[in-house]
Amino acid sequence: MRLFALRGANSVAANTADAILAATDELVRELMERNALVSEAMVSCIFTLTDDLNAEFPAVAARRLGLDQVPLLCAREVPVPGSMPRVIRVLMHYHAGEDHQPRHVYLGEARALRLDIESAQ
């Protein structure tokens, strides 16, 4: 088994708890599905939010998906002028077989962040 890291992001419709939880749920589910991940293979997840999102912790949605035994951390994204607003990002660490090919996930408006990664779309 080898340690891998996945990146992903999703846009959030509004700064509400429901919108943050829905966007996080969609992002984590898609990462898990595309990479055939189970919670037991996950090592940790780091979530970041842009400064305009503060109504809820993304980790709440991850715990609801069964990641309650995975260390989760929420932090602020660097507020670079002109950067895309209302975005949740994740860096997910997990174990998989040597032949695994990570499939990153960028959803919604956040797809524009990494058009260079074909597998992310």
Q: What is the DSSP string of the chain?
A: -EEEEEEEEEE-SSSSHHHHHHHHHHHHHHHHHHTT--GGGEEEEEEEE-TT--SS-HHHHHHHTT-TTS-EEEEEPP--TTPPSSEEEEEEEEEE-TT-----EEEGGGGGGGTT-GGG-
What is the per-residue pLDDT for 114? Answer: 80
Look at the chain and report how many structural domains it folds into.
Answer: 1
CATH number, domain of 110, equals 3.30.1330.40
pLDDT (tens place) for every residue of the chain, 121 residues total: 899 999 999 999 999 999 999 999 999 999 999 999 999 999 999 999 999 999 999 999 999 999 999 999 999 999 999 999 999 999 999 999 999 999 999 999 999 888 776 655 5
Structural domain for 54, as ranges: 2-120
What is the per-residue pLDDT for 119? Answer: 58
Q: pTM, whole model, 2 decimals? A: 0.93
